[in-house]
Structure 1
């Protein structure tokens, strides 16, 4: 029979058997901390592979900063940090944790053999708190202070208090910096769900005020991880293809310099932003699982004329360990793999929303994020009260033509907005746009004397029976002066006179009467250089990348007039949606998308402000009088230039360090990279760059390091300065960047090596996985190569062509859609050419 515990005395006696003691009276602050005393809160964080791997790499790759040091781990909970620090060789680890979960730390330390190193401390904010063992300072502080939207439930204040009280001069912070970022997102269906529910709640109308509350309350969600082996999506999950602008950084928090009240003073957590239309990509959603894949593409069945609305802003933070000798960082953004923090959605009002207190201000949506226009704004955050879950978010935006939004939202306990929309705006339409691709680069053999660089460039082309080019999902090759294209052709980029795909190489018939000397592929456009110096272009022209004011797509090659007196075009290059033509006099003309300055034309050519798109060939701004360029390369939104003196210049987007100038700013004119010289080749990828230097044939890489495409081994962080590619790589003769992978040809045997992303087989080693160091050789006798979005094409000394990588859109020209992870011979229909000639 069950024991009768119905009476009060029986209940007391029942619990007395467990000796729990009296009911504890706790303050609201203690209640907050003790709310994290349960296992589940830490189990979720421990299962966050991205977060845990970043901390593991940052600590264990910088053991020299921890060895024989005193390390304070602030608010460590059940995290791995104390034990990783102990593994790194720390002399003393002070694991500070205020809540009740801290009592388990000694047991875990003992289980792992670190009980003589790890000690547990209490409330560091207590004025009477002191370090044990007579210590007065520590060498390193490790913390995990982030929460949703960085500040929600954040403990940044505690970390700064610990820094000010105990970190010795010259000490290190792990992590050292956070950056807040945002991007526009289209969510028409989600908007309907957010709003329509309240109009009929079991037969009752809750629309006002609940619709206003919904619009004013941030939403925690995450981009669907398509292609991931883990499904973290929920009913609120959205697709990466819904992003409709380029990302913008709002502000940064440097834990080494931030004041103690940084989280409560909005002037520190405030930033202005400018959102550019995201160029339409040619890559599918399933391929967008890398931090640098700005390649989201809208489902063409669900959008009109490739335009998307802006219904919300998605906000996220990045974590950086950049004070370490080996820097590490990770992102919680939609471009990156899933993390516990996901992203925060700030919903904007739909056009029909006219709730109480919100005037109906209907504005022309066409005035907003169209090509050549931007959406500017300002956002500020603050922790609004002693409750760490409480955040105020102030947002204002304007389009430069009278349209604006001004909101104040609250995140957390005070969910009732203090003030809602003072002006409304219709959902904004933006034209999607880009990606990138690397181009086929020419080998430059021999010595590095400046007098022969241009000659070698021309001789290589004359000696090459076949040359190749790769776009995001289409390809081109030249054989005996004839051009063949294959892959996706829905924008006319194949030049066959129709808007359709081609699974096998097909002769570009309209150029059959000409000799084609060079070809370059962009995201959805293609350039051909025909002798004697005549340029043709086909495909997408949204940003004037075909040098036409008529911004429609062209399915057949059209002549591009490059009107530069006394000079002849000798080479062509395509970026994501921009184009460049190299002239025999060492000058370069550029046209197309210019939102980040990737054309290198500066601002003087078009007045006092930069121009986001240029449809007429414009001379690239020379870095100095007398500088002559011998080679150029174009990436997603940046460009590299090689001068006849072996110097390298860069311009365009620099957010990943791909300009090599030791910062992450954008440059509107070619800027000298001072840390490398005697260079013979340059190549741009999506968000990374490769440079080849003589006389040793060494390769230097910079920019985005995700998936290992910088070739630095376990270090996959970004690099804003050129770093030498690691591994057992013989002297190199040629380099080439793909969208997320890198390729090199060695001087001896012309062997092909690759590194970076390889899951679609684009490295050709048969393994379908990424390699952070050069792998190969996968082929020998390679004359030139090109890296596309997720595929590779190479021409051989024998005159043959090999392909490998992604094949789902016909970009390998093999006639089937299965990916190929080893070199596969490509057959050209040369018999058709002979028949047509005869």
Structure 2
């Protein structure tokens, strides 16, 4: 079977892969109660908490009545009601659990203490204070309100935050405590239900920390797209301006632990774990290849249809070794130079200062021995999970040199 045929097969199959397991998105976010989870070492799946979106959600077996109710009543934490590419929506029960997990203060403590993330936003907002003077900013999925307060401190006339999580009550107290209540308004609302304070109809800037594990997990980007199309004034700007999803090859293999556990082989446990994308720190000295950019999403132009895709990649080994895993990471760009402002970026790659996002690891079934200069080619397909469209299914098709083509399916749901 050739590469094109395998790629087509993979795109069809990866809509029907294994589902929930592992707890470890929970270091930052907690799994929806409607999904079963099983404890396991550092792996991603059936967990991660509440970033909302007006897209990305399947009706999880609650019938037509629940789906109809979701279409009229569902409010997205951090934004809006998730709607998938086929119009399917997350059930009210699962989304309520998802939203509730962002009410936990520990989640916000972890995000606030992530200096790469928080200082990256602070620098991007405050270094563009001249552009924000007298302007109106909408903070989509405002959480603790920190980005809204950065905007107010940078000179915005008004920062409007919206979040459907109950954290908004604590955020309002923080805003008042810092004497910013006259310039920061926080709304406990879905994005669809939000009305801008009269007489406003549009805003000058959108800001949002929408990124999830592997960049797209949680499907919050559709919420930002919805906010952009509904509220952003012509000529307005979005922070971040763009995010890029990248891939690198590594010898990292945490699953080798199960080969010898106090003299016993636990490899039957390792195989189900391999089907899950894992969230962990990948040591920089395990990176074998250069990196490939899979997709760049420009916030002013990205559409919901762009969020399910297949991307070709080619990786060249700079170091000889065994390729054991494919590693996803992302770059976040804040580029307002077109508006006369500044440009900055933070990265989540191996070797960069660690973040709460870490890296997302896809463990290969079979190691691929690589000589320095060897080339690995393939495709990576990402598609929102049909049962829970905040999650993603991933199909990787790859070949080293003239070797056989291999296809492997992963769940990030």
| 2:328 alignment partner in structure 1 | 315
- Residue 132 (structure 1) aligned with residue 197 (structure 2): yes
**Is residue 145–residue 175 contact of structure 2 (8 Å, CA) maintained in 1?**
no
Q: How does 1:399-798 map onto structure 2 within 5 Å?
A: 399-412=400-413
Shift of 1:386: 6.6
Shift of 1:392: 0.6
Aligned partner of residue 398 in structure 1, secondary structure: strand
Which stretch shifts more, 103-112 or 381-390? 381-390
| Whole-angstrom CA distance in 1 between matches of 2:162 and 2:349 | 29
**Is residue 381–residue 392 contact of structure 1 (8 Å, CA) maintained in 2?**
yes
- Residue 327 (structure 1) aligned with residue 343 (structure 2): yes
Q: 1:192 aligns with which of 256, 270, 274?
A: 256
| Whole-angstrom CA distance in 1 between matches of 2:275 and 2:411 | 7
**Is residue 135–residue 158 contact of structure 2 (8 Å, CA) maintained in 1?**
yes
| 1:77 alignment partner in structure 2 | 143
- Residue 221 (structure 1) aligned with residue 221 (structure 2): no
TM-score for the superposition, normalised by structure 1: 0.37
- Residue 250 (structure 1) aligned with residue 294 (structure 2): yes
| 2:96 alignment partner in structure 1 | 30
Q: Any unmatched runs of 5+ in structure 2?
A: 1-91
**Is residue 187–residue 309 contact of structure 1 (8 Å, CA) maintained in 2?**
no
| 2:57 alignment partner in structure 1 | none
- Residue 110 (structure 1) aligned with residue 150 (structure 2): no
Q: How does 1:266-415 map onto structure 2 within 5 Å?
A: 266-267=308-309, 270-279=310-319, 307-324=320-337, 325-350=341-366, 369-385=370-386, 387=388, 389-412=390-413
**Is residue 322–residue 370 contact of structure 2 (8 Å, CA) maintained in 1?**
no
Shift of 1:87: 0.5
- Residue 162 (structure 1) aligned with residue 227 (structure 2): yes
Aligned partner of residue 343 in structure 2, secondary structure: coil
**Is residue 191–residue 350 contact of structure 1 (8 Å, CA) maintained in 2?**
no
**Is residue 247–residue 291 contact of structure 2 (8 Å, CA) maintained in 1?**
yes
4+ aligned runs moved over 6 Å, structure 1? none
Deviation per residue, 1:531-578 (Å, 9 max, x gap): xxxxxxxxxxxxxxxxxxxxxxxxxxxxxxxxxxxxxxxxxxxxxxxx
Is the helix fraction higher in 1 or 2? 2
| 1:586 alignment partner in structure 2 | none
| 1:93 alignment partner in structure 2 | 159
**Is residue 219–residue 391 contact of structure 2 (8 Å, CA) maintained in 1?**
no
| Whole-angstrom CA distance in 2 between matches of 1:198 and 1:187 | 21
Shift of 1:50: 0.9
Change (3 A) 1:77 1:114: same
Aligned partner of residue 338 in structure 1, secondary structure: coil
Shift of 1:308: 1.5
Aligned partner of residue 27 in structure 1, secondary structure: helix
| 2:206 alignment partner in structure 1 | 141
Aligned partner of residue 318 in structure 2, secondary structure: coil
- Residue 121 (structure 1) aligned with residue 122 (structure 2): no
Shift of 1:63: 0.8
Shift of 1:45: 0.5
| Whole-angstrom CA distance in 2 between matches of 1:259 and 1:132 | 27
Deviation per residue, 1:63-98 (Å, 9 max, x gap): 122110111000010141010000011111111111
Aligned partner of residue 141 in structure 1, secondary structure: strand
Deviation per residue, 1:36-64 (Å, 9 max, x gap): 10100000011111111111110111012
| Whole-angstrom CA distance in 2 between matches of 1:175 and 1:389 | 21
| Whole-angstrom CA distance in 2 between matches of 1:59 and 1:213 | 43
Change (3 A) 1:159 1:386: farther
| Whole-angstrom CA distance in 2 between matches of 1:372 and 1:260 | 37
Superposed CA RMSD in Å reads 2.3
| Whole-angstrom CA distance in 2 between matches of 1:197 and 1:407 | 26
Q: What is the aligned residue count? A: 320
| Whole-angstrom CA distance in 1 between matches of 2:169 and 2:112 | 18
**Is residue 255–residue 270 contact of structure 2 (8 Å, CA) maintained in 1?**
no
| 2:66 alignment partner in structure 1 | none
**Is residue 144–residue 167 contact of structure 2 (8 Å, CA) maintained in 1?**
yes
Aligned partner of residue 115 in structure 1, secondary structure: coil
Deviation per residue, 1:724-744 (Å, 9 max, x gap): xxxxxxxxxxxxxxxxxxxxx
Change (3 A) 1:36 1:195: farther
| Whole-angstrom CA distance in 1 between matches of 2:154 and 2:210 | 21
Change (3 A) 1:146 1:388: farther
Deviation per residue, 1:76-128 (Å, 9 max, x gap): 101410100000111111111111111222221111121001112233443x4
TM-score for the superposition, normalised by structure 2: 0.72
Aligned partner of residue 354 in structure 2, secondary structure: coil
Deviation per residue, 1:310-349 (Å, 9 max, x gap): 1111110111112352001100111210111000111011
Deviation per residue, 1:252-288 (Å, 9 max, x gap): 111111113443xx22xx3221111125xxxxxxxxx
**Is residue 194–residue 214 contact of structure 1 (8 Å, CA) maintained in 2?**
no
**Is residue 258–residue 267 contact of structure 2 (8 Å, CA) maintained in 1?**
no
| Whole-angstrom CA distance in 2 between matches of 1:192 and 1:400 | 25
| 1:41 alignment partner in structure 2 | 107
Aligned partner of residue 304 in structure 2, secondary structure: coil
| Whole-angstrom CA distance in 2 between matches of 1:372 and 1:278 | 6
Structure with the greater alpha carbon radius of gyration: 1
Deviation per residue, 1:185-204 (Å, 9 max, x gap): 1136x342145559958xxx
| Whole-angstrom CA distance in 2 between matches of 1:154 and 1:332 | 19
| 1:764 alignment partner in structure 2 | none
